[in-house]
Amino acid sequence: MDVVQLERMVLNYLDTLESDKHHRALGYGPRFPRFKLPKTLKEFHEFYDMYLKLRWEIDNLESIVNEKREEFENKCNHEWVQDWENRDERSRWKCTKCTKFR
């Protein structure tokens, strides 16, 4: 038995135990599946479906990151300092704790 077959068997077994559901209940994200580069049209469609699912997951993670950043910035007791190095930003003031600009 090679390593790929063993991994497939372990992952299939974990699926029967609803491992992903238990991980999500503890705050973990989904397990990213491995993929095979497409050689046929059918494989391409499967590959593209996986791409769309992963793209959705990335968009979801991005919204979580933005939400958490805003949450932490709102809870922060800001300590503002002048930021002379970053001339691209509208503001020259930056919080030393959460890096928010004002």
pLDDT digits (tens, 9 = 90+) for 45-63: 999 998 998 999 899 999 9
Q: Would you say residue 19 lies in a domain?
A: yes
75, with CB counted inside 10 A (0-12, 13-18, 19+), is exposed
Q: Is residue 91 part of a domain?
A: no
Asked if residue 56 is part of any domain, the answer here is no
Residue 100 lies in a domain: no
- Write out pLDDT tens, residues 3-46: 988 988 998 999 899 998 999 899 888 777 777 789 999 999 99
Per the prediction, the chain carries an average pLDDT of: 87
In contact, 67 and 43? CB cutoff 8 Å: no
Judged by DSSP in three states, 7 sits in helix
Number of domains within the chain: 1
The confidence score (pLDDT) of residue 30 equals 79
Q: What is the pLDDT of residues 35-44, one digit of tens each?
A: 778 999 999 9
Is residue 52 a part of any domain in this protein? no
Domain region containing 13: 1-31
Q: Is residue 82 part of a domain?
A: no
What pLDDT score does 28 carry? 87
Tell me the C-alpha to C-alpha distance, in Å, between residue 7 and each of 11, 21, 28, 59.
6, 19, 21, 28
Q: Sign of the CA dihedral 93, 95, 99, 100?
A: negative
Residue 96 falls inside a structural domain? no
Contact present, 94 and 86 (Cβ < 8 Å)? yes
Residue 16 domain-assigned?
Answer: yes
What is residue 86's predicted lDDT score, i.e. its pLDDT? 64
